[in-house]
Amino acid sequence: MMLDRRVLLRTSGVAAAGVLGAALPSSAAAAEPSHAGGTPVPEGQDPTGGVTRTLLQEHPSPAEGWEAVQTLVQIPRHRESGRHSHPGVEVGYIVQGDVLMEFDDRPPLRLCTGDPFFIPNGVIHNARNVGKVTTMMLSTYVVDETKPLVTTY
């Protein structure tokens, strides 16, 4: 199934999971999220609410079956992208803000304005805004064009 990435990228949080046909695990919905600095998200409020992904460009890759997609991701204070993975690599740059990049398989990585980052193919991660301003990340993906850009967990 081909996914209209423009629809996904204009959608955020749980709504994006619906576009992808994915569901959040019931344990994730029941847990009360808390954030770095001890600032909890109020009960019943989506920790990914307000996160936006704007498609900047999308082009075929020189490798058949792959494409390059570039987005601007904005994460408000005390919010997060949500646990997810991509069917290819993500090469990124923190344009503004402070992020704690959390991984399922390695220690978290603290990123600040001006820091580059790399997420390997299929690695589950979550970008948590731990700063005082809306975080802006430029993310470029080289992904399998037959798979959804984002799989949520």
Please tell me the distance from the alpha carbon of residue 133 to that of residue 103, in angstroms, as a whole number. 23
Kind and range of the H or E element at 54? strand 52-60
Contact between 73 and 96 under an 8 Å Cβ cutoff? The reply is no
Query: Can you list the domains of the chain with their CATH numbers?
Result: 5-32+45-152 (2.60.120.10)
Q: Which residue has the tokens 């629809």?
A: 7
Cβ count near 138 (within 10 Å):
15
In this prediction the pTM is 0.71
Coil/strand/helix, residue 9: helix
Q: One digit per residue, pLDDT tens: the chain, 153 residues?
A: 333 444 444 343 433 333 333 333 333 333 333 344 445 555 566 788 899 999 999 999 999 999 999 999 999 999 999 999 999 999 999 999 999 999 999 999 999 999 999 999 999 999 999 999 999 999 999 999 999 999 999
In the chain the first and final C-alpha atoms are separated, in Å, by: 19
d(Cα 84, Cα 63) in Å, to the nearest integer?
A: 24
Residue 121 CB burial class (10 angstroms; 0-12, 13-18, ≥19): middle
Task: Compute CA 37 distance to the chain's CA centroid, rounded to the nearest angstrom.
Answer: 21
